Amino acid sequence: MIRLNASGIKMDTPCVLTVGKFESVHLGHQKLFSEVLRLSKELNLPSGAVTFDPHPNMLFGSPDYRPLFTAAERAYIMEGLGLDYMLVFPFDAAFAAQSPEEFCAKLFNNLNAAAVVVGEGFRFGKNGAGTPEILRREAARHSAAHKHTGTNDIHDASRQNMARVLVIPHQSTDGGEKVSTSDIRKLITNRELEKAAEVMGFPFFIMGTVTHGKQIGRTMGFPTVNLLTARDKLLPPDGVYATRTFLGDKSFRSITNIGVRPTVQQTTLPGETASRTVESFLIGFNGDLYNTSLRTEFLRFIRPEKKFANIDELRAQITKDIESLCKRARRMTKNRMKNVKNNTTKKNGTNTDIMSLLVPFSFSRMKYLIPF
């Protein structure tokens, strides 16, 4: 996928686009992407997502607002879903002040949108005055700028070379709940990671670079990696989590602590606060990961961070946490293999595709593209 600064560029090739903040890239957003990909294939045009950085809420919302995923993390997800472009508009007060018509001019003229897919709640332009209806009107007005090949009878387009606008209804979970980023944020901050994964369609994760720590874990027999994450990203509350860490195409079960490490943290000066860190112990890994980029998925909350009386108590608790994690993983794997084997045998009398169904999570297997 190609990531471009959308400000001031002129796309030579017409493309199929969707527009939004896409903070959580949840199931509703994925539905938009799947429609973009479908139209892209049908019209034989590139696909892309138009988004904004920094997150608009960081300008107009709370000054300490932290998005669920950084622009780089959203790009990672979008690439995994198969989009060709991520077009990022730098978001500032001047950009926010433009009228809906001005934004549409950028969309249909500069970015050469031949089709645009949005949700029914999509709003844009100054004070959110732009609506899907205005988008349709502006699409018709800018239609003459688009010359592309392929079928011309998609949806309700009534004349050749008309820029299409497809509006997707709000998406709901299997339980009938509306999918929203604000609800996902609440789930993350409440440590309800498994529920958040259901609504997003994938586990919450962080991406970062391994940096040098104090190597206290190594002296305890649990060498950890300290992950340097973006400062403008929402993290789960302090605590210990069952995680899965990806190193290239390999994944490792891991246990991750977010917090200030109260048992080993040096005393701070009056008025200072202890630094918050993210560190993981990768089960079964042995090696040097300094300056390596990692992705860590948060699967389940284990316990709050706690100050122990001494290092020995901390070591004993970490051992207990890891043993519990491994025991649970073995039990779940055993049950899953049993269920897959039974289901596969019922279908075709063999179990030849068991391992293919147990491969690590891949963004190419999201709900609206290839069901789990």
Q: What is the pLDDT of residues 20-61, one digit of tens each?
A: 999 999 999 999 999 999 999 999 999 999 999 999 998 887
Domains and CATH numbers, the chain: 2-168 (3.40.50.620), 203-336 (2.40.30.30)
- DSSP bridge pairs for 50: 19, 87
Tokens 């002296």 correspond to 219
Distance CA 223, CA 283 (A): 10
358: pLDDT confidence band, cut at 50, 70 and 90?
A: very low
Distance CA 234, CA 68 (A): 5
Nearest CA to 35 among 90, 103, 107, 116?
A: 116
Of the two residues 154 and 357, the one the predictor is more confident about is 154
Distance CA 45, CA 35 (A): 13
SS3 194: helix
Is the separation of the CB atoms in 80 and 1 below 8 Å? Answer: no
Quote the Cα angle for 340-344-347, to 5°. Answer: 150
Q: Express each pLDDT in 232-261 by its tens digit.
A: 899 999 999 999 999 988 999 999 999 987
Distance CA 247, CA 227 (A): 13
Q: What is the mean pLDDT of residues 323-350?
A: 71
Dihedral sign for Cα atoms in the order 196, 200, 202, 203: negative
Nearest CA to 117 among 159, 77, 163?
A: 163
Structure tokens at 367: 């709900």
Residue 343 makes CB contacts below 8 A (sequence gap 6+) with none
pLDDT at residue 144 above 60? no
Distance CA 107, CA 316 (A): 58
> What is residue 266's predicted lDDT score, i.e. its pLDDT?
57
Structure tokens at 61: 């919302």
Nearest CA to 161 among 135, 139, 176?
A: 139
Q: Express each pLDDT in 254-288 by its tens digit.
A: 999 999 877 676 555 445 455 789 999 999 898 88
> What is residue 73's predicted lDDT score, i.e. its pLDDT?
96
Of the two residues 21 and 332, the one the predictor is more confident about is 21
Dihedral (Cα; 203, 208, 209, 215), 10-degree rounding: -70
The whole-chain average pLDDT of the chain stands at: 83
pLDDT at residue 212 above 90? no
> What is residue 151's predicted lDDT score, i.e. its pLDDT?
42
